[in-house]
């Protein structure tokens, strides 16, 4: 999860810095925009991945509980 967020942030950093460079910004501005964008992407990806993991885990637990409940009803 951490590695995916970090990879996304690094790719975003280069994309944002490249877009700023193509827009004619100075080197410092390109680096600053890329760095700020990379940090924002990293934080957003971490939150989104944690949310996704909790949703998947909750769904698995609920499905397992439902199966156990059905099995208890069939085998009293």
pLDDT digits (tens, 9 = 90+) for 21-54: 999 999 999 999 999 999 999 999 999 999 999 9
- Residues making up the chain, counted from first to last: 76
Dist. CA 40–CA 37, nearest whole Å: 5
| Mean per-residue pLDDT, 65-71 | 79
Residues 6+ apart with CB under 8 A from 63: none
Cα–Cα dist 54/59, whole Å: 8
pLDDT of residue 72: 73
pLDDT number for residue 76: 60
List the structure tokens of 29: 């501005």
56 vs 64: CA distance, rounded Å: 12
pLDDT at 1 exceeding the cut of 90: no
């Amino acid at each position: 999860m951490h590695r995916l967020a970090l990879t996304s942030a690094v790719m975003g950093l280069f994309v944002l810095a490249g877009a700023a460079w193509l827009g004619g910004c100075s080197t410092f501005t390109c680096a600053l925009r890329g760095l700020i964008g990379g940090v924002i992407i990293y934080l957003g990806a971490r939150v989104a991945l944690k949310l996704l993991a909790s949703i998947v885990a909750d769904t698995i637990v609920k499905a397992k509980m439902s199966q156990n409940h059905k099995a208890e009803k069939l085998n009293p």
